[in-house]
Structure 1
């Protein structure tokens, strides 16, 4: 398509739009996805189509041939930056179907570990943009508690695998105090605007959605037991641009640190798991559970036929919905600004190609 600017003798032709493939190995992505961009001669993007499927994990089919204990070892692998939260979503589904009453200490520790996991995930995305530091110290306390550095496998049906080590709570608070979120560049303002309507239309959740005015956070709207009496208020902005997205993640790091300090003060004694039979079987039926993962709503639809393996375990992952919104926010963006816009738009590709 030829574009003409001006009228009459002063008119000039900008030529034919070019279709540019970005990816599937672009370094701004945590994994491999592809963007098909339509670009004008003046280097402005007029259309964008995210193309996925390059990193298909097959997780949902793998779940169907594993028992519920084995499923938890896979549940943290599609979003490797939200491993603990993803394990928890699956554990909650089985616990709800079987009517388990998880010990109070395990419930509070789960909330603490979710917030520590959120800090690690946010700092990974913020580091190239704001110079955020301190991830290593927080990653170390997660590894100390679970034994895993990336794939924690610390949740169990009915609670946690074991209690945290002696002194772990104090070391966690010390590690969180070392996190420095850095400075948000002012040059991000006005770049890559995602409207609230577009965010809602694409089902965008998490800090990306809240940066566009979507006032939804499961820690307040459908909280786990440990969050219910905390008076939690999510960070919500309305600008919807790259600056708002980064600022939202920065503020959520501080918010998670505050939540951990509060939850530590509420941590009771007692066991952290239930004694279970050798084979856990969910009764026939279905259930949907969800948690507020670092990048948004992580949901699990579990359907059971009363066997020790799930008949169907469908994942609702935040990045799958969020990445579709690139088709709404990239048009109008200059190619020179693309790295900054994509850097502000956090997705994990394994979470897309689940």
Structure 2
């Protein structure tokens, strides 16, 4: 959003790095969502397997910026520093390692009879209701709408990659149920691997930051910029009065919006189903409680 306000064009290598990091983070986020969802239902083994594979991704982040969480790697105008010399090789090794792990997850959880009975036809979210509530991300796509900002309001270099947008199909229940929300995330991890393969092969050499002063006074105006986060649309609305500090900043996070649908999803269900429904929404409470 700040780059848009200042009219900054970042180097092409930066765009590729941001895509790579974003898709790795998407997989890591979905692994937490899917693993903890299984644990919520009572399946402990998938939880351990998901977190095992997530550690592989966090190790890639660690060699890049020294942190496994709270990376502070993407800066205005670029990234804080270039990739570690071993990063591309290690990331390329991760792709073939992780692909069979998705099948393993399907064997352990996706097709598990108890899991499907707890999630299929539970917490059905009709598409019109999802749109009226402003739902985005896997929740919206699970209700049948192929809407993803990476394709429908494309940004960075996503238009250079071939990938699909999975949607809910009611495979074992009804379109938009808790199982569909779970399975869309599984399919999205496969698509993230496809994007990663292309980005890791195509990433160009070059600078990793634009030449901008340490302190800048942006023009008077307002901007809204959004990206497709793991849980949906993450947007920043900035109002500038021309000073070094923004006049107003509004964060549009997906969890805060998606959580508002819980009342609709829980109607007519047993109390025990609330656990299965809430887990399928995949909220981060720190983002909700701002």
TM-score by length of 1: 0.71
Alignment check: 8 A CA contact 1:319 1:347 kept = yes
Map 1:95-134 onto structure 2 (within 5 A): 95-130=3-38, 131=46, 132-133=49-50, 134=53
Shift of 1:308: 1.4
Shift of 1:306: 1.4
Q: 2:25, 2:208 → 1: CA distance?
A: 19
CA RMSD of aligned residues (A): 1.4
Residue 195 of structure 1: how far off its partner (Å) = 0.9
For residues 1-354 of structure 1, the aligned pairs below 5 Å read 93-130=1-38, 131=46, 132-133=49-50, 134-179=53-98, 180-181=101-102, 182-183=105-106, 184=110, 185-187=115-117, 188-238=119-169, 239-354=175-290
Q: Matched residue of 1:228: which SS? A: helix
Following TM superposition, by how much is the alpha carbon of 1:146 offset from its aligned partner in structure 2, in angstroms?
A: 2.1
Q: CA shift at 1:96, angstroms?
A: 1.1
The offset of 1:157, in angstroms, is 1.1
Contact 2:162 2:195 in 1 (8 A): no
More helix by share: 2
Indicate the structure with greater strand content. 1
Listed one character per residue, the Cα deviations across residues 76-103 of structure 1 (whole Å, up to 9, x for unaligned) are xxxxxxxxxxxxxxxxx11111111100
**Contact kept in structure 1, 2:265 and 2:277, CA below 8 Å:** no
The runs of 5 or more residues in structure 1 that have no matched partner are: 1-92
Alignment partners' CA distance in 1, 2:156 and 2:89: 23
Q: CA deviation at 1:176?
A: 4.1
For 2:253 and 2:37, the matched residues in 1 are separated by 24
Structure label with greater radius of gyration: 1
Contact 1:220 1:232 in 2 (8 A): no
- Where 1:282 maps in the other structure, the secondary structure is coil
Cα distance, 1:292–1:216 mapped onto 2, change above 3 Å? same
Q: Distance in 1 between matches of 2:60 and 2:156?
A: 24
Q: Specify every segment of 5 or more residues in structure 2 that has no aligned partner in the other structure, as ranges.
A: 39-45, 170-174
Contact persistence 2:92–2:200 (CA under 8 A) = no
CA distance in 2, matches of 1:173, 1:231: 18
Post-superposition Cα deviations, 1:302-331, rounded to whole Å, max 9, x if no partner, equal: 111111111111111101110001111111
CA distance in 2, matches of 1:248, 1:343: 14
